[in-house]
Chain A
Amino acid sequence: DQQVKQNSPSLSVQEGRISILNCDYTNSMFDYFLWYKKYPAEGPTFLISISSIKDKNEDGRFTVFLNKSAKHLSLHIVPSQPGDSAVYFCAATGPGGQGGSQGNLIFGKGTKLSVKP
């Protein structure tokens, strides 16, 4: 039973346009959400996060939107650049960092973004 779902395995976008990556969650106890970016043969790197007390967080070209009623968050990248091509993971955790029954950060399966020049 997936608690964090990224339903699009891949996304292709033209350079300069907006990339929108989506993530849905089922656990209403989740209150902190993160996005990680992963290049091949490297470990994931932290990109941006959002607390459930906010509905938007922005960092440069990256903005995360949270819709708590829909249990949905999205990552917007504007403008998209070829260097943004990577796998993006959405992750969620609960109060005090306690996500899931084992107290861990729950990751989605990832969305592979390809930005074409």
Chain B
Amino acid sequence: NAGVTQTPKFRVLKTGQSMTLLCAQDMNHEYMYWYRQDPGMGLRLIHYSVGEGTTAKGEVPDGYNVSRLKKQNFLLGLESAAPSQTSVYFCASSKLLNEKLFFGSGTQLSVL
């Protein structure tokens, strides 16, 4: 049982480049989330989804887009990366909204 899997684990981008972070969960959870964690900060919600085909903005959505075409997958896109998006990104899923989230191991993204 893999739980929540994120790919890639590390990525370096140049300013203006685009990329997509992939998240997959095998627990049949309805809810999925993307968070970012910056040094000395708590986790901040970027976007979340309450079910297949739905997405909603979180606390810090600017510069990101998401899609949930399949229940098990939640994609986070950066259309034009900026140095301010250098961070560790965590995907999570849960059976109930905001309860007992299961997190992936994170993606370390550096934007130069």
A97 touches B97 (CB 8 A): yes
A96-B97, A110-B42 given; A41·B59 CB < 8 A: no
> Per-position contact with B for A24-44: 1 when CB-CB < 8 Å, else 0?
000000001010100001111
Residues of A within 8 A of B97 (CB): 96-98, 103
B105 touches A93 (CB 8 A): no
A49 touches B100 (CB 8 A): yes
> Which among B4, B41, B99 is the interface contact of A43 at CB below 8 angstroms?
B4
Residues of A within 8 A of B66 (CB): none
Number of A-B contacts (CB under 8 A): 66
- The CA-CA distance from A104 to B48 in the complex, in Å, is 9
- The CA-CA distance from A103 to B58 in the complex, in Å, is 7
> Per-position contact with A for B85-112: 1 when CB-CB < 8 Å, else 0?
0000010100011111111111000000
Residues of A within 8 A of B14 (CB): none
B106 touches A109 (CB 8 A): no
B4 touches A4 (CB 8 A): no
- The CA-CA distance from A109 to B106 in the complex, in Å, is 17
Q: How far is the CB of A96 from chain B (nearest CB, A)?
A: 7
Q: How far is the CB of A66 from chain B (nearest CB, A)?
A: 16
> Per-position contact with B for A63-76: 1 when CB-CB < 8 Å, else 0?
00000000000000
Q: Is B22 an interface residue (CB 8 A)?
A: no
Q: Is B43 an interface residue (CB 8 A)?
A: yes
B58 touches A41 (CB 8 A): no
Q: How far is the CB of B63 from chain A (nearest CB, A)?
A: 16
**Closest 4 CB pairs between A and B?**
A43-B103, A97-B97, A107-B42, A97-B98
